[in-house]
Copies of this chain bind each other. A is one copy, B any other.
Amino acid sequence: MQTTNSTEQQIIDAARKIFMHKGFSGARMQDIADEAGINKAMLHYYYRSKDKLFDMVFNEAVEKLLSRVSAVFTADLLLEDKIQGVIGSYISSIAENPYLPLFIMNEINQDPDRIIDRFVNTPSFPNIQEFMMMLNAEMDKGTIRRVDPVQLMISIVAMCVFPFIAKPLLKAVFKIGDPAFAQFIEERKAFVSSFVLSALRP
């Protein structure tokens, strides 16, 4: 059924946009209806409540974010190439959904317990073990400096994600506009890769 799918999809798209920008409590059902160009009652016709609609958007977002974090941690090539490639594609993929990280962080903080169940069952849960074992192997071989793998992983994600979370702040502090920021992000791929690899030199 075309019409049904279309309307359902329009609602999800609108809900994603509004929830991402305003958060759960800041989002109004009327805003979502307007954004989707439909009547407010339709939201309740397809998705029973604001909570249900939010869950739909939120789960999708978590899934997306986790699969991206997974990509960073999953490694089966040479460390150097892997880090380089993975950081680049990670930054690129967030650039396509710049509001995703802040949205997730924020909503998780609102209600930390809600997320935990979700995580255990998520298929794309990051494979941390594999990446840590790879790091340990390289450290044993002496090809990279010995560091705490967890601290390292979090640092990599931090350097990739933070610019998007802090975008308006950074634009103000460094007095740059949107084009310059986009260029900054593009350059950041190479910077983070080389920064991390430099830090790992024995």
Contacts and interface: CB of A to CB of B under 8 A. Distances in A.
A172 B105 contact: no
Contacts of A26: 23-26, 110
Interface residues of A, number: 56
Interface in A99-126: 99, 102, 104-106, 108-110, 112, 115-116, 119, 126
The main secondary structure of chain A at its interface with chain B is: helix
A201 B127 CA distance: 31
A152 B174 CA distance: 13
A42 interface: no
A198 interface: yes
Given A105-B166, A109-B168, A151-B184, 17 more contacts: A21-B109, A25-B26, A26-B110, A104-B169, A105-B165, A105-B169, A108-B169, A109-B167, A128-B174, A147-B191, A150-B174, A151-B195, A157-B162, A158-B162, A159-B159, A162-B162, A165-B165
